[in-house]
Amino acid sequence: MSLTNKIDEEFELTVGDSRYLLIPEKQNFLSDISFDGELPALVLVYTTVAGQSITKTALRQFRANILDKDDVFRSEFYANLIFYGGKKHEIEIEPEALSELAAWNVKTQSFVASPPAAGTSGRVIVPSRCYYNPSPSRPLDGARISVKDNIDIAGHKTTLCNRAWIQLYPVKSKNAACVQKLIEAGAVIVGKVKLQAMIMREEPLECVEFIAPFNPRADGYQVPSGSSHASAAGIGSYDWLDFSLGSDTNGSGRKPASYNGCFSIRPSTGIMNNEGVVGYFPQFDMPVFFGRDISRFAEFISVWYGDSPMHRAPGKALKILYPSDYLPTPNPAQTQVIDKFVSGLESALGINRTGISLADLWEKHCPDGEQHKDIATYLEFAGIYPFYHDQYHHLAEFRNQYKDKYGKPPFVHRALHWQWNVGKAITQGECDECWRRSEIYRHWLLEKVFKADDEDTVTVMILPIEAGKPNYRDAELPLNSLLSGYAALNMSPMARSPEVTAPIGDIAYDSIVTEREERLPVAVSVIGPPGADLILVDLVEKGMKGAGLATEVKTGSSMY
């Protein structure tokens, strides 16, 4: 007998001295399974992945660590065992494991393959927190984490939110290195989340294959912003989600943190293994993560990075740079919120900010000769030209393979076609010259601005994130444009530096959607020399406490 449609309404079922509430579901992963005897049937689900070998030891650990501690489980559930995840031919059950199942009095065994539904809408199943106990060996035990869909998860497709990509590439057989680290530390991956298609600019009105996620903050109709938009929107929306993974090339992680009112860190370039993270420009590409509580970041980073030799020890002194190139911003309300945080950081550390003009300092040093005194002109195409050039050529294989297989070019949105046209027109000579300028800028920043070799003093800089103004998801599309290497968003990728983005307050605005006053999140970024990731997290937390700001934000329309 099949379970499909056998239960039409809720009712209670008594097993021994336990009562269970059964809720009908027309469609679920058990719908096509048949059982002998009376229905409803009691079943036990054991999750698997393709290629897994099930051992007696694993089964006993499952029973001891999960079932025996569960206050609603009864031995009657052993009767029907369902292996959910991998297909039958993809799973090996060792002989001793079969004997163990017989000792459990398992009568039937079934296999149900989970569909590769990453990147599509669906329910999210989260395990109870009752069964997890963080420890030194598993510090993230039970932490619930979502993953941006350009990061590989075994048993699922990595979709890039592009249907042509989904058609062309198979299910992944292994986890990305940055995901595997978390799983080994006890984290629970609850699902994959959307991204701007192909990891490139895609405003909500340009999302023609997968609708853009909704930003929960303010009036609910602000853009989620950046290619990691769903990672940040999820953190701002769901209390049951602890962290979310994303990626950042030149703002894809920091902008969503700002717009969706949560914390994030772009790690020092090269401090961790990027294997299994789809990107087009490894010189800038880095996985990032988002969270609501900055006090939990240090532990997460320690797990995620491992014992990287890039970690920098705290210095004896700290220096806070306040760049006139970017601050104050044209928005006085935004600047006021930023200055409150900076004042809190000054108070907490017992030091004063140091004003600096990158433009003036560059003109003084002229690191690439007197003919290149103007930093804005010098960096106009540095960084972005190499990125667009390499991205276009990197994706040639995708375009060619798809056309060979399906007889037509793959669909991508119009903004990406524009970027491809730009990248295609950039010569190798232009690309090399722009990269040379990017590297000169990097060396100058680290030597003259951050003084990265100074072991006694750690220098950090305060940066704003965009304009701090309403940006509605149905607004007229912005013109296609190139992000200058002089832009604040390009500093950390070009310098290979870590950058922590923090929600430090909100400002009032009159919403054209709700026709009332709403509160828009305002964020700040703190950037430092490579390897200073943990130092920045500590400084941001101290600065927020010094300014009387919450170090943990809430979900929903308001952060507080």
Do 154 and 251 share a domain, yes or no?
A: yes
Last residue of a domain, one of 63, 94, 112: 112
373 pLDDT more than 90: yes
Last residue of a domain, one of 90, 112, 134: 112
Average pLDDT over residues 283-310: 96
Largest CA distance in the chain: 88
- Write the Ramachandran bin of 453: left for phi over 0, alpha for psi from -120 to 50, otherwise beta: alpha
Q: Where is average pLDDT lowest: 32-46, 76-90, 394-408? A: 32-46
Domain at 149, CATH number: 3.90.1300.10
Average pLDDT over residues 46-67: 87
Q: What is the pLDDT of residue 28?
A: 64
Share of the chain above pLDDT 70, in %: 94
The DSSP bridge partners found for residue 459 are 319
Do 191 and 311 share a domain, yes or no?
A: yes
437 in a structural domain:
no
Average pLDDT over residues 27-50: 75
32 — pLDDT class (breaks 50, 70, 90): low
247 — pLDDT class (breaks 50, 70, 90): very high
Entry pTM: 0.81
Share of the chain above pLDDT 90, in %: 79
pLDDT tens string 374-401: 999 999 999 999 999 999 999 999 999 9
482 pLDDT more than 50: yes
Do 471 and 519 share a domain, yes or no?
A: yes
17 in a structural domain:
no
378 in a structural domain:
no
Question: Residue 494 contacts by C-beta under 8 Å, 6 or more apart in sequence?
Answer: 284, 382, 383, 438, 441, 442, 445, 485
Say if CB 494 and CB 438 are below 8 A apart.
Answer: yes
Q: What is the pLDDT of residue 17?
A: 79
124 pLDDT more than 80: no
CA distance 232 to 224: 8
Do 85 and 194 share a domain, yes or no?
A: no
Domain total in the chain? 2
Do 104 and 161 share a domain, yes or no?
A: no
Mean of pLDDT over the chain: 92
135 in a structural domain:
no
pLDDT tens string 543-559: 999 999 999 999 999 99
419 in a structural domain:
no
Report which of 265, 264, 230, 228 is spatially closest to residue 247, judged by C-alpha positions: 228
Q: What is the pLDDT of residue 403?
A: 98
340 pLDDT more than 90: yes
Q: What is the pLDDT of residue 27?
A: 61
String of DSSP letters for 61-84? HHIIIIITT-SS--GGGGGEEEEE
Six-digit token string for 392: 């276009």
Say if CB 558 and CB 550 are below 8 A apart.
Answer: no
40 — pLDDT class (breaks 50, 70, 90): confident
Average pLDDT over residues 232-260: 97
Question: Residue 317 contacts by C-beta under 8 Å, 6 or more apart in sequence?
Answer: 456, 457, 458
Do 200 and 310 share a domain, yes or no?
A: yes
Q: What range defines the domain where residue 530 resides? A: 144-357+444-547
pLDDT tens string 161-219: 999 999 999 999 999 999 999 999 999 999 999 999 999 999 999 999 999 999 999 99
String of DSSP letters for 89-128? GG-EE-HHHHHHHHHTT--EEEEEEPP--TTS--------
Do 176 and 305 share a domain, yes or no?
A: yes
417 in a structural domain:
no
330 pLDDT more than 70: yes
CA distance 108 to 45: 12
Do 228 and 320 share a domain, yes or no?
A: yes
256 pLDDT more than 50: yes
Do 90 and 218 share a domain, yes or no?
A: no
**Over the range 522-538, which residues count as b (16 or more CB within 10 Å of their CB) and which as e?**
bbbbbbbbbbbbbbbbb
Q: What is the pLDDT of residue 68?
A: 85
Say if CB 187 and CB 296 are below 8 A apart.
Answer: no
Give rounded-to-5 percent helix, strand, coil for the chain.
35, 20, 45
Q: What is the pLDDT of residue 120?
A: 43
- Write the Ramachandran bin of 34: left for phi over 0, alpha for psi from -120 to 50, otherwise beta: beta
Say if CB 166 and CB 406 are below 8 A apart.
Answer: no
The sign of the dihedral angle between the CA atoms of 421, 424, 430, 431 is positive
Do 308 and 202 share a domain, yes or no?
A: yes
Say if CB 266 and CB 288 are below 8 A apart.
Answer: yes
400 in a structural domain:
no
Six-digit token string for 129: 């927190």
Do 218 and 283 share a domain, yes or no?
A: yes
Do 108 and 165 share a domain, yes or no?
A: no
User: Which residue shows structure tokens 């293994």?
Assistant: 273
278 pLDDT more than 50: yes
Q: Is 55 helix (H, G, I), strand (E, B) or coil?
A: coil
Last residue of a domain, one of 89, 112, 135: 112
CA distance 119 to 162: 9
pLDDT tens string 456-475: 999 999 999 999 999 999 99
Q: What is the pLDDT of residue 118?
A: 39
209 in a structural domain:
yes
119 — pLDDT class (breaks 50, 70, 90): very low
